[in-house]
Structure 1
Amino acid sequence: MPDPSVADHRTRVRQALTPLPGPVEVPLAGARGRVLAADVVAAVAVPPFDHAAMDGFAVRAADIGSVPVELPVTGVVAAGDPVPALQAGTAIRIMTGAELPPGADLVVPFEWTAGSDPVRVLETAAAGRHVRRRGEDVDAGEVAVPAGTTLGPAHVGLLASVGHRTVPVRPRPRLGVLSTGAELVNGDVPDSNSATIAAAAAGLGAEVTCFGPVGDDPAAFRARLRDAAAASDLVVTTGGISAGDHDVVKAVLRDEPGFWFGKVAQRPGRPQGFGVLDVDGRAVPVLTLPGTPVAAYGAFLLYGRDALAVLAGDPAGAPVRRVRLGAPVHAGDRTVLLPGVYDDNGHVVPLPGHAGHSQRLLARAEVLLVVPPLGRTLEAEAIEVLDL
């Protein structure tokens, strides 16, 4: 039987997961980078009232139909001041942001006038000139920011301006990262997998805790895995899933109901595994990845990114981004992950060198090219890329 494809394994992972319950309400100060769980409707209009867009004089258009014309000045209004009504045939000196006096329908900028009282208006204009109308930007009751938006500083400012102090956002999945291998525990090899995956997951909005490294003793691994699962919504393990004598992850989990271990038609990272662990009545998905650093990182971007997206509220998983190739790439019978960069045209090209194990090569890359198993040379086609 042929190895399952990358698409098959992605589907396996997605279909076993459901979005976390939510939403959660967070203050605006902590909302940057969060994803809105529902449309946010403006509680107040922006602007909240008609106001002057420039410093000048509030007048009636009917009073400056022919210019020049002199109008007595009956008051001064700055932002926040009480607003007197404008009488026909008069003007009120007004500052930018001040509420437009009742009776006025335009603002004549200072540059169009001479004198101060009476003011001599030198240019005419139609009603509405230099006035920002109530609700011109966002009206009360209008959707200010739609559900699914990843909030940036400008969104946060807009939400504050329409009268909100808190917003409903999707919960952040809790990710537990558990690396395995005696060589990591005794310090012979640094635990780069935990560092890489934790950094990638944090960039995807997860709350990350590292529970490793743990050695090759099954009892010790089982206990550490249970600790990780009890505190997480998703656990990612690295190492211990191939066919060696010390593959502790596979040894502990292969007999658990619903766990799958096998080979996926990809390079690097052919050995993969996935299942759902019952921890005190709570179903916790466990994604088991290879131990080779480049394979572990690539597999996390392929499958862990999808899993976090589903848990955060996107049942379809993470969006797929495609970019046109800038150089020919040979596609074989397996999906191949190649470190790549953008060329001067914004297309992607693979970096020269062996990609299967070189973390240095991966660190030079901007994206991973996901070369599909089409069995031919790809020229200028658009292929999936994974941001690094």
Structure 2
Amino acid sequence: MAGRRSIRRKKSAARAGVRAGTRDGYLRGWRDGYRIGASQAIARQLPLPTPTRRPLKVLFVRENSTGYHLIERGIISALSKAVEQVAVAQTLDPVEAIAERERPDLMLVLNGIFVLQPDRLERIRAMGIRTCAWYADDPYFMELSAPLAPHYDHVFTHEIGTVEYYRSLGAKAHYLPFAAPLEHAGPMRVGQRFWTDICFIGSGFPNRIAFFDRLAPYLKKKKKVFIAGGLWNQLKAYRDLKRAIHLPGVQVDEALQYYNGAKIVINLHRTHEPPGGSPYPVVPHSVNPRTFEINACCTLQLTDARSDLAAMYAPGLEIETFASPGECIEKMEYYLRREDERLDKALRAYERTRRSHSYEQRIAVMLDTIFGAHG
């Protein structure tokens, strides 16, 4: 008799679970449909810029790392609209030979700090080819980027705090933040395996490890969490969060699906704390490329606040910020309980991204700086 009652209880619990899952799936589908529909309306109102194509040929030299793929896609798409010809190489390629063969009006290098050397850059400039770099890792590898900076005709950096230092070395340095590759990253429907309450994608740098160890007691309490990237096995709370951690990381297209499937995406910048201190008088002020990529997916972003953030997005209106693990937990709990407020901020961030933070806009600024507004 007791056995039959146990079986009935299990069946009843299973049916309740199915009903709850069906209800949650229906609500999720309805809300996601609204998110997609509203974001499509925003996209129609704010189409990407269509610049007048300049009679230029640009050789774009890519970095050799998957971490830059979204940035590179955005740059290539924007260049293809802005100039007549685009050739693409990688930093490990024989860049001098390619430049001599292609004879571009401009060679644009993304980062390039791990491979290219001053003598190679000077040989290319001696061909009469203008050169510029767009630094993506400032200020974390300035021992590599600083010696190269004076050997470009122009240097663009996403970190405003490094501009004056590069200028002090004789470089023509300019602040140019990265953006959202809106032809490749945006709101989309994703499968259930990408649905999470809280998502973080990025390497487990020491400050991130310490921060998530403080979040762990909250995250392990019936929250569906996804963390992807290397070094996360260094967490003290690794056993508690192991089920949520994907140590190999994820590829770019998969990351975009996780952003779309998350209710909240956390963005936590790495700190600038090199061993023994830094010889460079630089304090990070600017946001990372992930800031724009998350907002391009129309998902609520919860980020630590760099001083330059307010120039990009309105905190509290288009993006949410935290100053401590405790505040992060409070805001996660608040927004997980408030679907409408969460979606409202995500849509506002998406609208601001389309209005102000496309690669089409950034490349236009770059070309105006190098060749003049009507060059």
The interval holding the TM-score normalised by the smaller chain is under 0.3
Choose 1 or 2 for highest CA Rg.
Answer: 1
Identify the structure with the greater strand proportion.
Answer: 1
Q: Please, what TM-score do these two structures have when normalized by structure 2? A: 0.26
Higher fraction of helix = 2
